[in-house]
Amino acid sequence: MDCTKILDTLKSVIGQADNFVSLHEPTFAGNEWDYVKECLDTGWVSSVGSYVDRFELMLAEFTGVKRAIAVVNGTAALHVCLILAGVESGDEVLLPALTFVATPNALSYCGAIPHFVDSEEATLGLDPHKLADYLTEIAEVRGDECFNKKTGRRIKSVVPMHTYGHPVDLDPLLDLCERFKLVLVEDAAESLGSYYKGKHTGQWGRLSALSFNGNKVITTGGGGAILTNDEELGTLAKHLTTTAKVPHKWEFRHDMVGYNYRMPNINAALGCAQLEQLPGFLQRKRELAENYRQAFVDVDGVRFFSEPEYARSNYWLNALLLDDANCDKRDELLTLTNGSGVMTRPTWTLMHKLPMFNDCPRMDLSIAENLERRLINIPSSSSLGGDRA
């Protein structure tokens, strides 16, 4: 594998930039200034304001869900999803070892225990078939609940994460959840604009979480959202994330332990302007991905990762996969590209290797460990998309 050729191929797609090319930058080319200025001019900058309602409605319409609840970040969204899914202290929750740390962090806030499962190379996400075989061995269903025969703990939920925007294979995962009485909660933080068999991600779980961090497909600065098709859960999610305050003209009454997870109006204003541009962002990101795919067809030792055949990905973060024989050159390539003004990075350290999670239960993780050695993310901003010939 020739690292210099890979660098040259990257530059042939993204162009010869004068400055450092970041992994993913936001694009502000719409009504951002006008909407944010309106918040400043009117003083409606905090957790109450028309842009919060508007953002939630726009988001629900785009994704196709019945309810969207805007919150301060994706981790907060996932935390509340897990609470509403019935995850309790001492429960085990199944999730991929190949994920961002926010996924196990959120369930740890509930007092739950991460139980790490393997990924599949076709999606980079949780492998439902391997998980089904594993649960057949270690789990038993008693009534309407699933228990780990080895630990005695209840296994309450499974949380697939759509890695870099590529949808997990959800149909067999839904079958697995029905068989083992598990609640499906989607970590869709990276997959706004991604579709599984024609249906937007985030519609498959009982609840789902999105992120609008500064490096996501759209951004609210910081921000996230809870998605659900259950109106009752949606109402409860809104209540929980607004400190569980009972509506009243002047009194402060709270009827349960709640969370101050509300998205400020000024952030929602930014989000509304971003959502208006989302179709264009997605188109340019797909154009960028196709340019990468074509450019790397004849480059030895590496391949561009493309969406699963049943899915339409948002290509949030584009990725290269080194051949097995070349994974020892990963750090050489990272050093060369970053030193040459092109940001690249490895995938996340697998969660079971982090000190706070290394004693958690896990299945065989051989595919995730293999992917960890081979994955490299490359520049993915929507501003890099289009015909750059």
Looking at the chain, the number of H-run helices and the number of E-run strands are 11, 18
176: Cβ contacts below 8 Å, ≥ 6 apart: 128, 131, 132, 135, 158, 182
Q: Are strands 195-196 and 145-148 parallel, antiparallel or unpaired?
A: unpaired
The residues with which 117 forms a beta bridge, in sequence order, are 96
Report the phi/psi class of residue 99: left, alpha or beta, with left for phi > 0 and alpha for psi in -120 to 50: beta
pLDDT values of the chain reduced to their tens digit, one per residue, 389 residues? 899 999 999 999 998 777 899 999 999 999 999 999 999 999 988 877 899 999 999 999 999 999 999 999 999 999 999 999 999 999 999 999 999 999 999 999 999 999 999 999 999 999 999 999 999 999 999 999 999 999 999 999 999 999 999 999 999 999 999 999 999 999 999 999 999 999 999 999 999 999 999 999 999 999 999 999 999 999 999 999 999 999 888 899 999 999 999 999 999 999 999 999 999 999 999 999 999 999 999 999 999 999 999 999 999 999 999 999 999 999 999 999 999 999 999 999 999 999 999 999 999 999 999 999 999 999 999 999 765 44
Q: How far apart are CA 255 and CA 236, in angstroms?
A: 12
Q: Quick one: CA dihedral 191, 192, 194, 197, positive or negative?
A: positive
Other CB atoms within 10 A of residue 1 CB: 18
Looking from the CA of 163 toward its CB, the CA atoms found within 13 Å total: 32
pLDDT at position 387: 58
220: Cβ contacts below 8 Å, ≥ 6 apart: 55, 70, 212, 263, 267, 268, 270, 271, 274
Q: Are strands 375-378 and 67-71 parallel, antiparallel or unpaired?
A: unpaired
Beta strands in 143-291 (DSSP E): 145-148, 154-158, 183-187, 195-196, 199-200, 207-211, 224-228, 245-246, 253-254
Q: How far apart are CA 68 and CA 77, in angstroms?
A: 10
Q: How far apart are CA 332 and CA 323, in angstroms?
A: 14
pLDDT at position 64: 97
**Is this structure's pTM higher than 0.85?**
yes
Q: Which of 225, 230, 172 is nearest to 197 (CA)?
A: 172
Cβ(160)–Cβ(191) below 8 Å: no
Q: Which of 301, 298, 297, 304 is nearest to 327 (CA)?
A: 301
Ordered by where they begin, the domains of the chain are 3-26+277-384 (3.90.1150.10), 32-275 (3.40.640.10)
Indicate the SS3 state at residue 260: strand
pLDDT at position 298: 92
Q: How far apart are CA 188 and CA 194, in angstroms?
A: 9
145: Cβ contacts below 8 Å, ≥ 6 apart: 154, 156, 181
